Amino acid sequence: MVAKRLVVAAQKNGKSVVTSDSRVEPIEVSLLPGFEFHRLWGSDVGPALQSDGSPPSQVRYFPPPGGFRFGFFTVGPESRSLPEDFDMAKGLEELEQRLPGIAEVMEPDHPGMHTTNTVDLDLVISGEVFLELDDGQEVHLRAGDAVIQHGTRHSWHNRTEEPCVVFVTLLGAPRAAS
């Protein structure tokens, strides 16, 4: 799916104007068949008002403390799998190029399971998905269900044949010392 992104900012006189009206293509990587990632907006620092509407810096997929990300991702059906002859080294290289930093948080022995230093505000827009937590605990989510995660270990599983779209805002946060 291609998303429309409209950016509105204020001119020096305070009048609001559209500074950008563009289409955002999904980011797809061969290592995650059926997944799509739409990076709509974000910054590595907190937001500032009276911006000219230029996209802030956001190099890595997950924000650092004080930064944020705004977008959505699609969880494809689990029935879509990697081909038997899949080149894992090339797949990991592509993942790092297109979605920098994602591979670093993934658990190699539990595909899809990850932990980030973010507060995640998730809203299922369409479809249904299972959110896996520690010890195999799973929660079934449908369109309209929301999840607020506080740096928790989790994974997403779509056991239907329809894609599931999840809106997400990621807020970078420091992890408290334990």
Mean pLDDT of the chain: 93
Question: Structure pTM?
Answer: 0.91
Task: With cut-offs at 50, 70 and 90, classify the pLDDT of residue 102.
Answer: very high
- 8 Å CB contact between 71 and 154: no
pLDDT of residue 111: 87
**Higher-confidence residue: 101 or 177?**
101
**Does residue 19 fall inside a structural domain?**
no
Task: With cut-offs at 50, 70 and 90, classify the pLDDT of residue 174.
Answer: very high
Has residue 1 got a pLDDT over 90?
Answer: no
Q: What is the mean pLDDT of residues 27-55?
A: 90
CA angle 127, 5, 36 (to 5 degrees): 40
Six-digit token pair at 63?
Answer: 């924000």
Six-digit token pair at 64?
Answer: 């650092």
Provide the 8-state DSSP code for 134. G
CB atoms < 10 A from the CB of 127, how many?
20
Q: How many helices (H) and strands (E) does the chain have?
A: 2, 10
Looking up residue 101, the CATH number of its domain turns out to be 2.60.120.10
Domain count, the chain: 1
Distance CA 61, CA 99 (A): 6
Has residue 72 got a pLDDT over 90?
Answer: yes
Q: What is the mean pLDDT of residues 150-167?
A: 97
Has residue 177 got a pLDDT over 80?
Answer: no
Distance CA 20, CA 8 (A): 7
Six-digit token pair at 40?
Answer: 């709509």
**Does residue 161 fall inside a structural domain?**
yes
Has residue 50 got a pLDDT over 70?
Answer: no
3-class SS of residue 119:
strand
**Does residue 10 fall inside a structural domain?**
no
**Does residue 8 fall inside a structural domain?**
no
